[in-house]
Chain A
Amino acid sequence: DTGVSQDPRHKITKRGQNVTFRCDPISEHNRLYWYRQTLGQGPEFLTYFQNEAQLEKSRLLSDRFSAERPKGSFSTLEIQRTEQGDSAMYLCASSFSVRGGSTYEQYFGPGTRLTVT
């Protein structure tokens, strides 16, 4: 297994455009997480999925943001009508959890760096 992968690694877009990022988790991991990290700050939790179900969404995830994990495997994060304040690193992580039991450590992908001009 090659770990968590994200695509693209870099994205430059003009304000008002829509962008979509993809995350492929570690294959046996049933949980997938999205975070946003701005310069000099720690990652901020956005949302997470248990298989295909989206279970928690941060208030940071405005109406312009939507995330999906249609078959419980890869996930996409879409930002509509991008704003300059959306410029950040978008990180994806995955982990394995046992129903009703433990959740194990998260593993992070390399991130997608978004620049909105």
Chain B
Amino acid sequence: GIQVEQSPPDLILQEGANSTLRCNFSDSVNNLQWFHQNPWGQLINLFYIPSGTKQNGRLSATTVATERYSLLYISSSQTTDSGVYFCAVRVDTSGTYKYIFGTGTRLKVLA
């Protein structure tokens, strides 16, 4: 089955620093989402980005579907950015589909 790998697995930043998180997937996918899981476990939507580039405040994301990767950029990081970042891809199978989550990047932003 499809493999979804994220890098780096862990990241520690000083407040104000920038970072790039990567999501690689091993097969064609039909859409891709980025989520932030906060310390209470809630998954928060960041981007729905099957292809192209989107920006939302200090965050932006780029998906290059033909090369099977997506990037999440965090600029001017804040302590509230801490948590785990997941990408999730949709895999279509025989008329139905399922979502596969990546391995996650655990981010800690220090004050």
Q: Which residue of B lies closest to A3 (CB)?
A: B42
> Counting CB contacts under 8 A, is A23 at the interface?
no
- For chain A, residues 30 to 50, give those with C-beta under 8 angstroms from any C-beta of chain B: 33, 35, 37, 41-45, 48
Main secondary structure of the interface of A (DSSP, over half): strand
Give the chain B neighbours of A106 by CB distance below 8 A.
33, 45, 88, 99
**Which residue on A lies nearest to B46, using beta carbons?**
A105
Main secondary structure of the interface of B (DSSP, over half): strand
Give the residue name and chain of the A residue nearest to B6 (CB).
A42
- Return the contact of B31 from the options A58, A93, A103 (Cβ within 8 A): A103
Instruction: Report the separation of the CA atoms of residues A103 and B97 in the bound assembly, to the nearest whole angstrom.
Output: 11
B96 at the interface (CB under 8 A from A): yes
Chain A contact residue count (CB 8 A cutoff): 24
Residue A111 at the chain B interface, CB threshold 8 Å: yes
Interface residues of B in 47-100 (CB under 8 A from A): 48, 86, 88, 90, 93, 96-100
Q: Which 9 A-B pairs have the closest CB atoms?
A: A42-B101, A105-B48, A108-B43, A56-B96, A45-B98, A55-B96, A43-B101, A42-B104, A42-B86
